[in-house]
Amino acid sequence: MDKNIAVIRGDGIGPEIINEAIAVLDKIAQKYNHKFTYTDVCMGGCAIDKYGEPLPDAELAKCVNSDSVLLGAVGGAKWDTVPGHLRPEKGLLKLRSGMQVYSNNRPAKIWPQLASASPLKESIVKKGIDFIIVRELIGGIYFGKHETKEQNGEMCAIDELIYRESEIERIARIGFETARKRNKKLCSVEKSNVLDSSRLWKSVVTKLSREYPDVELSHMLVDNCAMQIVKDPSQFDVIVTENMFGDILSDEASQITGSIGMIPSSSLGSTTRGVYEPIHGSAPDIAGKDIANPIGTILSVAMMLRFSFDMADEADAIEDAVSKVLDKGYRTADIMQEGCIKVGCSEMGKLIIDNI
């Protein structure tokens, strides 16, 4: 198959981890007879430097016209002082909404080889950690009106949080469908004891559950969910939640698996074209030192092959290779354990390719 992939290297460690991910794609192309072509897209701090904005329309158009987008990471201290509407993160939000990828899928799964890296007690880890957070990605407080103004002699800031029934229903549907393919348990997370948007969320999800009698639906308040994720993560199969709650809970969930550097993500809309990225950030402090962990990005490539290109065997081959490399004791600095062999970013990439 021929696929055109838009590649956003971004800032910080972005370019290094993307190099390894592309080398993996090239290996897959060679082994399985595919042709992947790459279109470079400039987004984030590097786009602010070059064009004065984090994602020019022409760059977004390249993404919209691609078969899928592979993204490293954007942002860094250098751009912390630019006005809010020009921050590198705004490029990411423009990409998500421009591509209409409303459903962000973030797995929290512990690799058995890294179980001891989890900050949770062994007795908790032993019960198993394997759940998915389905996060609504293009609505809610991220996309409401943002305003800072003077009022009665002091500054006042407003961030608007809107959810429409249709937005809730389409993401809830993804939650139910995802659960249906797994252990058939869906937990809808909100703050319905305080927020109107959450009360609407809960009622729409409840109504939709009639179409999914085979899926066991539960409801949980977000503060309780944050607690339950560290108390007993084995209780979760699929969590569906709104944009900001999903942002926060997915970072928490990644930590209990040992390293945020291992976690991939997919963002999809109503077509097969998606955005694939590791969930960690640009880590400017370790950029250019060849010590970043490329596995989250490489596993994001596996998700792209599986979900957007219908290449399940190829995706399995990548995931198996990662597992083999971990079995052999190779670790990047962030997941280093006693008795293991420490390798850099490019070496880790090479080891995974050798095992495909």
The number of angstroms, rounded, from the C-alpha of 65 to the middle of its chain's C-alpha atoms is 21
Q: Is 122 helix (H, G, I), strand (E, B) or coil?
A: helix
Which residue lies nearer to Mg ion by CB, 261 or 349?
261
Among 16, 20, 59, 247, binds Mg ion (CB under 5 A): 247
Q: What's the CA gap between 310 and 289, in Å, rounded?
A: 35
Among 18, 92, 99, 295, binds ligand IPM (CB under 6 A): 92
Does 163 qualify as catalytic in the annotation? no
71 touches, from Mg ion, ligand IPM, none (C-beta below 5 to 8 Å by class): none
Task: Read off the amino acid at residue 62.
Answer: K
89 touches, from Mg ion, ligand IPM, none (C-beta below 5 to 8 Å by class): ligand IPM
Give min distance, CB of 255 to ligand IPM, in A.
Answer: 13
Which residue lies nearer to Mg ion by CB, 113 or 241?
241
Q: Is 121 helix (H, G, I), strand (E, B) or coil?
A: coil
Give min distance, CB of 240 to ligand IPM, in A.
Answer: 16
Among 136, 190, 242, 247, binds ligand IPM (CB under 6 A): 247
Closest CA to 352 of 10, 22, 9: 22
Structure tokens, 260: 């945020």
Which residue lies nearer to ligand IPM by CB, 10 or 27?
10
Give min distance, CB of 8 to Mg ion, in A.
Answer: 17
Which residue lies nearer to ligand IPM by CB, 92 or 321?
92
Strands 216-221 and 238-241: unpaired
Task: Read off the amino acid at residue 221.
Answer: L
Which residue lies nearer to Mg ion by CB, 93 or 195?
93
**Taking every pair of C-alpha atoms in the chain, what is the biggest distance, in angstroms?**
67
Q: Is 42 helix (H, G, I), strand (E, B) or coil?
A: coil
Q: Is 261 helix (H, G, I), strand (E, B) or coil?
A: helix
Residue nearest to Mg ion (CB): 247
Please give the full DSSP string across 156-190, using - where no structure is assigned.
EEEE-----HHHHHHHHHHHHHHHHTTTSEEEEEE
Q: What's the CA gap between 127 and 75, in Å, rounded?
A: 37
Does 11 qualify as catalytic in the annotation? no
> Catalytic: which of 62, 94, 142, 163?
142
Does 354 qualify as catalytic in the annotation? no
92 touches, from ligand IPM, Mg ion, none (C-beta below 5 to 8 Å by class): ligand IPM
Q: Where are the alpha helices (DSSP H) in the chain?
A: 14-32, 45-51, 57-64, 88-98, 122-125, 165-180, 196-208, 222-231, 243-256, 295-303, 312-327, 345-354
How many residues of this chain bind Mg ion (CB under 5 A)?
A: 1
* Contacts with ligand IPM, 41-80, as mask; x by CB under 6 A: ----------------------------------------
Does 223 qualify as catalytic in the annotation? yes
Cβ-contact 126, 289 below 8 angstroms:
no
Among 4, 26, 78, 89, binds ligand IPM (CB under 6 A): 89
Which residue lies nearer to ligand IPM by CB, 89 or 130?
89
Give min distance, CB of 301 to ligand IPM, in A.
Answer: 17
> Catalytic: which of 27, 191, 276, 330?
191
Cβ-contact 334, 258 below 8 angstroms:
no
Between the alpha carbon of residue 67 and those of residues 98, 102, 229, 268, the distances in Å are: 15, 17, 35, 12
Which residue lies nearer to Mg ion by CB, 246 or 294?
246
Owner of token pair 């004791």: 329
How many residues of this chain bind ligand IPM (CB under 6 A)?
A: 4
Strands 103-109 and 264-268: antiparallel
For residue 238, state whether it binds ligand IPM (rule: CB under 6 A).
no
Does 191 qualify as catalytic in the annotation? yes
Contact residues: Mg ion, CB under 5 A: 247
The catalytic residue positions are 142, 191, 223, 247, 251
Contact residues: ligand IPM, CB under 6 A: 89, 92, 247, 279
